[in-house]
Each structure stands twice: as structure tokens, then as C-alpha cells.
Structure 1
Amino acid sequence: MKQLPSLKQLQYLTALAETLHFAQAAERCNVTPSTFSAGIRDLENVLGVAVAERTKRTVFVTPIGLEIAERARRLLRDAEDVMKLASTQKEPMTGDMKLGAIPTVGPFILPKILPVIGERYPKLRLYLREEQTAVLLSRLRDGDLDVALIALPYSTENLTVRVLFDDAFQLACHAEHPLSGNETITDDDLINQPLFLLEEGHCLRSHALEACSLNNSPVRVQFDATSLQTLVQMVASGIGVTLLPQMAVDAGMSPTQDIRLIPLQRRTSRQIGLVWRASSPRVTEFELLAELFRNS
């Protein structure tokens, strides 16, 4: 039988491709630098090609090394899936699960659902990661995450999506703002208003604009923030207005009396969904997780 590279050797190569540093890659793989270097040499002997070029100061992964590293990542992810498949057959909802969540969803829903999950599935260990949607989906495809909690609509390509619930928007303005006396807010009310939004990269920005049909309208974005908390503080100062998702309102995001919350006349919302790789061996567990989110 033809000699094949080991998973350990492929793990070394992917670590080297990501760090471009032998000592750092060795530390990531929990081995000594000498063991790591020997493993890379052994891999090159098996493959019959050089995967790295070494100088006194720098390390370069060769073009063929980069291509092999990319394929190695998929092989390693599949190997991990094999182990997860075996463990789920023993007992579902046990072991480690890496859950990602976007910043405009995680803080408002996870504190409610995690105690329920912990009580119902005490052998499940959830590891949480908070990132913007694009980063979460990239990590999900690479196998760094098992499942992710995101807001829709968003392009998920070949990933599996389960919609959990709708999350409506409300206008938040200062109590003395001209719009504060309105019972509802129309799309026209917001044209040319000094609008506070999250910075580019947060899907809530596009969802908020879409909720009021403002994507192609003369919106005057007064301030870009990195968090909903900052938006609320700016509104409380009386400078402008913003759109808050209902889950943030329900979580007490705007408790101050200086802020008035007004529903939108055109009832629109974003959707909250759970997303995972279609090839994952834990699909049954993710469906159980989705049902827990819906019920809670």
C-alpha cells in the first residue's frame, strides 16, 4: 500500500501555513519545535515535494504547500466529523459543541437559552464565539465552529438554515424629538433623519435600512457605532434616532426615560436563524437545538 501522510503531519502543515512561524506552529500543535520540524521533514519525504522554504529569519510555504494545506484542512475537518459522528451515536447532545453568535443576537438570547440547555443536556459543553456574520460563516465552513446563530436575510450558500423566529424593529428617539409624539413611524418619517446605525459589516445595519425601505433612499447616517449600547447612548443624548430590534428592547436595552420607543407602521422584521454545514454528522442535535430556541 502506498505510504500516505498522517493526520498529525497534515495538522503540522496547516498550522505552519497559518502562522508562518515554526515555533508558533509547534506551540499550536502542542509539540516541541524539534518534533515539529521533524514532522514537516517527514511529510516532505512522504509527498516528495517541499512544502516550506526556510531562511534564518523567515518561513515561506511553497505554492504546492499552500494547496496541500487547504486540502488538509478539509481532511482534518472530516476526521473530526467522524469522531463526532461516533460520539453522537453513543449519546446525543453530549461532548463539545462550538456555537457562534453575532453581537446583535447573542447577548439577548443566549442568557435565556443557556440555562435551559444546561438543565436539559448537562453532558453538553458549549463553547461560544461572538463575531460578525461573515466571520462566523467562514469559521463554520472551515470547521472551526459547529453551528451559528445569525440574522437573516444573509447569503448562506450551501449551508443549512433553520429559521427560529422573527425579530421586529422599533424606532428609538429622544423623548423631546419631533417624532416622539407619533403612534407609529412611516418610511417617509425617516427620510433625511440623522440616523445612527452600526458600522459596515454588521448585518443589522442592512436589515434596519431594509425594514424601512431606506436602502435606496436619501438616508443621512449621522454616526456609525460598534455596538447597540453605543447607539442607545447617542440617542439618549438627543442627537439622532436609531432602529432597535425587539429582542434588544425586551432585554432592557433602552431603560432610560429619555428614550421613546415607537413601532414601525410597516410591520417588518429580521429573522433569527440557526445555520450549520449540511455535511455535519450532528444534524439531529442541531435540529434539537433549533427546537429549544423556538420554544424558549
Structure 2
Amino acid sequence: MTLQQLEYIVSLDEYRHYVTAAEHCFVSQPNLTMQVKKLEDEIGVRIFDRDKKPLQPTEIGKEVIIRARQILRESKQLKEFVNHEKESMEGEFTIGIIPTLAPYLLPQFLPLFMKENPSVHLKIQELQTSQIISQLENGTIDIGFLVTPLNESAIKEIPVFYEPFLLYLPENHRFLNEKLMLAEDLDPSEVLVLEEGHCFREQALAICKEAKYGSSIGFDYQSGSIEALKSLVQNGVGYTLVPELSVRDDLDSVHVRRFTNPEPVREVSIVVHSSYIKESVINRLKDTIQKVIPGRLLEGQAVVKFDWK
């Protein structure tokens, strides 16, 4: 039994003529006749008495048609509800965002987003990538901001921008004499990275082409903060990799060098469960972010993308 078959019997009841009913449903008369017969065979009753002129529903057919009309009304209402939900820009939404993105992205787009969408309330949590995936799957959060690709079948990824990795150096470091850096020139033993569990750590190590990280600078420091690593570098301890949005021109420009093309980048995406329907919220978040970030981050060409894991 299909909604289409129910539409056919309702139309046939209304027009009492196969050709007219078929024209109303934008199908051929033989196709409509065949589908009505298939429905009758499936439910085991005759809906129409074809011996009467004009065509008449049987007694039980009248009851079937009444219920068919009810089902079609409810189906239409369901579609209207879903369309409203997709387009609605109101309500509360829970967002998970990775710590290496939150302090740099949120201040840029959040004021404009809240100003333009006063009926939306966002509950934002800093979570690691594995936590965001898990909570999207169990419905604890609605939307995630993290680095992709994830290669998770239940998760839908909407790429938003491509953020380059920059080399962050102490003053007077020999690499500051270079205009552009080659990734193969880095010494993994000098690179400061985040603690285990942060996707940014794995990306930094991938750029260094170092599967395991072992410190040879006199100490091990388990940090979850890019700002803490930058502070160490500023005081002459090693060097590190930072995402471009974390670089403040007034304070950091003397410490950074870009990599040669193709630049290593992280693909920053909005992620949702594959069943999530609030497309309007996703699109509005994406549009707002793309309005405020530097235009060069919107280009995904001539870059090297890294998986988060």
C-alpha cells in the first residue's frame, strides 16, 4: 500500500471516471487502473463496483476511501511540519566545538549570528572530537564544529573553511630568515604539540611526518592549550604549529612563517547526525561564519588536507 495508491482511489471517488481521475493525478489511465487493482488485491476487497455507471464505490470501499482521505491529510500535515522545522530559525540548539577551534572561531561569528537570529539560543560546549561524535550519535548535542574528514557513516559533514597551519617560532630563530617553510625542514624533537586526545596534535605530527612524538628539549608538557604552547615558544622553548585564526597580527606576526604551496590545512566543518533536519540552522551558521572569516580560508584549492585521526 502506498500514498500514491491512496491518492488514486480518492481521485477516482471524486471524479467517478478513470480517464478524468488519471488526468488529475498526472498519470496514464492504464497505470491508475493497474495501481487501484493492486491495492484491492493487497487488502482483499473491492473498492469500486465497476459494473455500475457511473463508477461507484462498494460499501466497504466507502470506508476505505474515508480512511484514505484521513491518511493523506495526516501525511500532508507531517510534510508541512517537517518543512516548517527545516526552515524554522527559532529554538534552543546544543553545539559541541573542539577546544583548538572555540577561542578563535566563536568570537568572530557568534556576535553577528546572535544579532541576526534573536529567536535562537545556543548552548555551546567545548568537547574533543570523539566526544562530539558520540554525543551526536546519542542525541545529546545537535551540531558539532570540528575538523574533518571523520569517515563516520552516521555523521553528515558540511565543510565551511580550510584553515592553514602556520609555524610559530621564537624570536631570532633561524627559520625566521625564510619567507616560506618546507614541512620536511621541521625537527619533530623541537616541535611542541598538544596532549593526547586532541585532533590538532595528530595533524601537527602528520605534517612533521612523525608517527610518535618524543621530547628532547628537557621536559614533557601535557597541554590542551595552543596559547600555552605559543607562550612557551615566545620564551624560547622550541617551536610549534598553530591554526591561522589563532594568530593575532599585532602580537604574533613576528613569530609566524607560512608553508610553501600546497599549504597544509585543516578542513573545518559543521557536523550533524545524518537524520538531523534543521537545514536552516546549519545553513545560517555556515553563511555567518563565511561572512566573517578571511576570504582566503574559503579556498580549498592547492592545499594539503589532513584527517583528524
TM-score interval for Structure 1 and Structure 2 normalised by the shorter chain: 0.5 to 0.7
Cα distance in 2 for partners of 1:88, 1:263 equals 46
Quickly say closer, same or farther: Cα 1:255–1:87, change in 2 above 3 A.
same
Is 1:227 the counterpart of 2:225 in the alignment? yes
* 8 A Cα contact 2:86 2:279, kept in partner: no
1:248 maps to which residue? Answer: 246
Give me the whole-angstrom Cα distance separating, in 1, the residues matched to 2:216 and 2:89: 44
* 1:173-184 pair list within 5 angstroms: 173-184=169-180
Partner of 1:115: 111
Deviations 1:133-154 (A, max 9, x none): 1111111111111001001233
RMSD: 2.6
How far did residue 123 of structure 1 move? Answer: 0.5
Distance apart, 1:217 and its partner CA: 8.1
One of 259, 263, 266 as aligned partner of 1:264:
259
Unpaired segments ≥5 residues, structure 2 = 1-77, 293-309
User: Is this contact kept in 1: 2:188–2:210, CA < 8 A?
Assistant: no
Picking from 276, 285, 290, the partner of 1:280 is: 276
Alignment length (residue pairs) = 209
Matched, 1:289 2:285: yes
Contact 2:85 2:278 in 1 (8 A): no
- CA contact under 8 A between 1:98 and 1:126: conserved in structure 2? yes
State the alpha-carbon separation in 2 of the partners of residues 169 and 295 from structure 1: 21
Answer with 1 or 2: which has the greater Rg: 2
Q: Distance in 1 between matches of 2:142 and 2:129?
A: 14
Q: 1:137 aligns with which of 95, 117, 133?
A: 133
> Partner of 1:127 in structure 2?
123
Taking the aligned partners of 2:249 and 2:197, their CA distance within structure 1 comes to 21
Distance 1:90 1:160 in 2: 16
Q: Counterpart of 1:239 in 2: which secondary structure?
A: coil
Aligned mates of 1:276, 1:90 — CA distance in 2: 14
> Which residue is 2:97 aligned to?
101
Which segment drifts farther, 162-171 or 278-287? 278-287
1:86-107: per-residue Cα shift (whole Å, max 9, x none)? Answer: 7954971101011111111111
Contact 1:140/1:276, CA 8 A, preserved across alignment? yes
Contact 1:165 1:294 in 2 (8 A): yes
CA distance in structure 2 between the aligned counterparts of 1:218 and 1:146, rounded to whole angstroms: 35
Could you say if the C-alpha distance between residues 122 and 216 of structure 1 is closer, same or farther in structure 2, counting changes exceeding 3 Å? Answer: same
TM-score (norm 1): 0.64
Tell me if the contact between 2:100 and 2:226 (Cα under 8 Å) persists in the aligned partners: yes
Structure 1 range deviating more: 152-161 or 100-109? 152-161
Match of 1:154 among 150, 153, 176: 150
Question: Is the contact between residue 189 and residue 213 of structure 2 (CA under 8 Å) also seen in structure 1?
Answer: no
Could you tell me how far apart the structure 2 residues matched to 1:117 and 1:157 are? 29
Note the alpha carbon deviations across 1:217-262, whole angstroms, 9 max, x for none: 887575442101110111011110000110111xx288168x5211
Q: 1:87 to 1:157 in 2, by over 3 A?
A: closer
Match of 2:163 among 167, 190, 193: 167
Per the normalisation by structure 2, the TM-score is 0.61
CA distance in 2, matches of 1:221, 1:278: 44
| Structure 2: distance between partners of 1:159 and 1:91 | 21
Deviation at 1:195, TM superposition (A): 0.8
Q: Are 2:187 and 2:208, in contact at CA under 8 Å, matched by a contact in 1?
A: no
Classify 1:170/1:216 alpha carbon distance in 2 versus 1 (closer, same or farther; 3 Å).
Answer: same
Q: Which amino acid aligns with 1:241?
A: Y
| Structure 1 residue runs without a partner (length 5+) | 1-81
For 2:252 and 2:180, locate their aligned partners in 1 and report how far apart those are by CA, in whole Å.
20
Q: 1:221 to 1:245 in 2, by over 3 A?
A: farther
CA contact 2:184–2:208 (8 Å) conserved in 1: no
- Tell me the percent identity: 24
Mapping for residues 29-40 of structure 1, pairs under 5 Å: none
Distance in 1 (CA, whole Å) between partners of 2:86 and 2:264 is 43
- Residues 148, 157 of structure 2: 8 Å contact kept: no
Distance across 2 between alignment mates of 1:159 and 1:90: 18
User: Is 1:229–1:253's contact at 8 Å kept on the other side of the alignment?
Assistant: no
The equivalent residue for 2:184 is: 188
Structure 2 partner of 1:58 = none
